[in-house]
A = this chain, B = another copy of it.
Amino acid sequence: MTNPVLVEVLRGTLVESAHRGSVVVVDADGKTVLALGDVAKPVFPRSAVKAIQALPFVESGAAEAYGFGDRELALACASHSGEPAHAELAAAMLAKAGLGLEALECGAHWPSGQTAMVGLARSGAAPSALHNNCSGKHSAFVCTCRHLGIAHQGYVRPEHRFQQMVRETMEAVTGAAHNETNRGTDGCSIPTFAVPLQNLAQGFARMTTGNGLAPERAKAARRLMSACMAEPFLVAGTARADTDLMHAAQGRIFVKIGAEGVYCAAIPELGLGIALKCDDGAGRAAEVMIAAVLAKLMAADETLAEKLTKAANPILKNWNGIEVASLRPTEAFG
């Protein structure tokens, strides 16, 4: 099936570009509450499932043993902008486990945040693995290995014992098979597995309600998502959608973007899990889609719905600060 156009980009009064995609919302019983487009098609969730991948970090007792709180747990689930606070916290997590940044196998890249990038360049330093947007997740990974007494070297590889734990956790939470036939490699070198979009939504419904999860896992899931909602800056950064949406919702919505236009979210008070994918992989459109579907689901709270609707209709300014374009969700959202 051809997915519907869910987001339009306007320049002047004309539609300049358009984004298709699929969105699914699943409740605590696994029932589909809303579906737009093909929600059975396998999708690589990429970084949108970092909170699920972080479950062994909490379940193993590693997070508690090292004395980590909301800040470290939020960073473990983050795709951060490489701002000083992010890089410093990742380094502090490693230090608690007696490790240095050489333990990280995610690779180095310049901070994605422009101010952070310019600041780092001006300091004369080069970017390290601590600036990699995934450094919090990787720090949590090696801390967990250390706590469990597993040699952390090679922890990014599919056959490593720790990566097998992550895969088993992902299978249990999403209910979808993870094997060599649906495996790819993520930007930070760990495996990523394509699973049906509806399984991702169901996974986040389970994460927030605990339905279908063992009690310890349900507790760890709530702990991680609460940490992200309490420390939204550490999940992304300055002027980033994850941070702004969770800040606006003040602890009532969990959201996480993934590369190539994926978004996962959960609304604890409604017991709902949400997953979406922009067909063409555009993050700008995925951000509009998640804000639009959240505005619809939270319509009963007019103040919050208004903020979410505003986030779903961003204005684009040019280099002279003139408003030249805008994005908007289409009527497909109803």
Contacts and interface: CB of A to CB of B under 8 A. Distances in A.
Interface in A101-151: 105-110, 114, 117-118, 121-122, 124, 132
Contacts of A182: 12, 14
A242 to B, nearest CB: 20
B319 A185 contact: no
Given A122-B122, A194-B14, A318 B187 contact: yes
A280 B18 contact: yes
Given A14-B44, A118-B110, A121-B118, A132 B281 contact: no
Interface string A18-62: 111000000000000000000000111000000000000000000
Interface in A262-291: 278-282, 285
A18 B282 CA distance: 10
A186 B317 CA distance: 10
A122 to B, nearest CB: 5
Contact of A189 (B280, B285, B319): B319
Copies in the complex: 2
A188 B317 CA distance: 10
Given A324-B184, A324-B187, A132 B18 contact: no
Contacts of A282: 280-282
Contacts of A322: 185, 189
A307 interface: no
A9 interface: yes
Contact of A319 (B117, B187, B319): B187
Nearest to A285: B280
B121 A124 contact: no
Contact of A280 (B11, B19, B106, B114): B19
Nearest to A320: B107
Contacts of A18: 279-280
B318 A188 contact: yes
A165 to B, nearest CB: 21
A319 B107 contact: yes
A194 B99 CA distance: 56
A112 to B, nearest CB: 12
19 contacts: A9-B281, A11-B194, A14-B44, A14-B194, A16-B43, A16-B260, A17-B260, A17-B280, A19-B280, A108-B319, A109-B319, A117-B117, A118-B121, A122-B122, A132-B319, A184-B325, A186-B324, A187-B318, A281-B282
Interface of A: 2, 9, 11-12, 14, 16-20, 42-44, 105-110, 114, 117-118, 121-122, 124, 132, 182-189, 192, 194, 260-261, 278-282, 285, 318-322, 324-325
Given A9-B281, A107-B318, A282-B282, 8 more contacts: A11-B184, A11-B185, A16-B43, A107-B320, A109-B319, A110-B118, A189-B319, A279-B280
